[in-house]
Amino acid sequence: MSKEKLIELLDREEPDYKAAAALGPEIIPVLLDLTKRGDPRIAPRAVYTAGLLQDANAIEVLKEGANSSLADIRVAAAATLRKVTGMGDSDLLNTLLNDSDPGVRKVASKGL
């Protein structure tokens, strides 16, 4: 799996999350890298895709997203965290509930 292929699936008007997630847990390091880079278009999509993997290691992508300087990426982390089962992290949820951005707090609180 190439990083370029994953970006191609995510960087569309309508991202192909299903195809991206079908690439399996081996894409987690790439998703983490894309999240760290903080591209406002790709990083939130990388965070969301990580949640679709239902893999315990994907929490690292959500943690990175939750600590992003961009609110849209933190919102994606909050939304993903509340939608996936088995990835709950009380410290991470607490971080998002106390975020400086009201939109992040609102999305995180829906997970309670």
Quote the pTM value: 0.91
pLDDT in tens, 60-93: 999 999 999 999 999 999 999 877 755 556 788 8
Residues 86, 74 contacting (CB under 8 angstroms)? no
- Give tens-digit pLDDT for 35-50: 999 999 999 999 999 9
Q: Give all domains of the chain, ordered by start, each with its CATH number.
A: 3-109 (1.25.10.10)
Q: How far apart are CA 109 and CA 112, in angstroms?
A: 6
Instruction: At 74, list the tokens.
Output: 């933190």
Give start and end residues of each alpha helix (H) in 26-84: 28-37, 43-52, 59-66, 71-83
- Of 45, 72, 76, the C-alpha closest to 63 is 76
